[in-house]
């Protein structure tokens, strides 16, 4: 066989191998489910509530759920995501932030439970970050907690409640004057 013929065979084998690889990729992509993310935003887009001497601003609240586009089967349960901004409005108290919780309420004010297997709706304030909120200071963090699957149809959910656990303590500034004289 000539060099030219051998080169043609190698090239032809490469093209056939590439075509076979492409057909395998098509088959494997057909076997992999196509997952889509459904996002539903909650209204109002931003709200502020008062919790003792702390104000809590909740914004960009939305529910995210991932489903198989072909079967509509839920592959990743619904989660409530958003932003929480806390501000200490006291002049003489500081707050050590411990934890928080989101409670979902139906039209009658009764809590809507999240399935036990999905975890709870509590969140913490990491101790490695600033967990103390001094007068006039603010703190922002992301919210990412499970959302009840029974409320995803929009029929049962009426209100959200945010509960915060914090340790208030008096914030005092003190000063003293004392007499001095210059010695020469």
Q: Is residue 182 part of a domain?
A: no
DSSP helix/strand/coil, 173: coil
Token reading at 30: 């057909």
Pair 13, 82 in one domain: no
Q: Which residue has the higher pLDDT, 71 or 153?
A: 71
Pair 2, 83 in one domain: no
Domains contained in the chain, number: 2
Half-sphere exposure of 81 (CA within 13 A, CB side): 11
Between 70-74, 95-99, 162-166, the lowest mean confidence (pLDDT) is in 70-74
**Domain residue limits at 1:** 1-32
Q: Is residue 179 part of a domain?
A: no
Q: How do residues 112-146 score in pLDDT, each as one tens digit?
A: 999 888 889 999 887 655 668 999 999 999 999 99
| Per-position DSSP letters for 85-144, written without gaps between them | EEEE--SSEEEEEEEEEEEEE-TTSPBPPPPGGG--SEEE--TTS--EE-TT-EEEEEEE
Pair 15, 58 in one domain: no
DSSP character for 179? Answer: -
Pair 94, 19 in one domain: no
DSSP character for 36? Answer: E
d(CA 66, CA 12): 43
Pair 107, 24 in one domain: no
Using CA atoms, how far residue 99 sits from 21, 74, 108, 176, in Å, is 53, 30, 26, 37
Q: How do residues 27-44 score in pLDDT, each as one tens digit?
A: 555 668 889 999 999 999
Burial zone of 112 (CB within 10 Å; 0-12 exposed, 13-18 middle, 19+ buried)? middle
């Amino acid at each position: 066989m000539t060099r030219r013929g051998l080169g043609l065979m190698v090239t032809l084998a490469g093209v056939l191998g590439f075509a076979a690889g492409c057909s395998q990729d098509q088959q494997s992509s057909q076997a992999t489910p196509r997952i889509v993310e459904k996002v539903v935003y909650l209204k109002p887009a931003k709200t502020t509530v008062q919790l003792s001497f702390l104000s809590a601003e909740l914004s960009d609240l939305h529910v995210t759920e991932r489903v198989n586009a072909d079967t509509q089967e839920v592959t990743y349960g619904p989660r409530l995501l958003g932003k929480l901004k806390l501000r200490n409005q006291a002049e003489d108290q500081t707050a050590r932030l411990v934890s928080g919780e989101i409670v979902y309420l139906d039209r009658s004010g009764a809590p809507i439970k999240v399935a036990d297997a999905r975890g709870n709706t509590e969140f913490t304030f990491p101790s490695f970050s600033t967990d103390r909120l001094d007068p006039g200071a603010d703190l922002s963090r992301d919210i990412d907690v499970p959302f009840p699957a029974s409320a995803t149809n929009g029929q049962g959910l009426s209100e959200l409640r945010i509960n915060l656990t914090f340790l208030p303590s008096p914030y005092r500034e003190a000063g003293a004057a004392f007499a001095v004289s210059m010695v020469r």
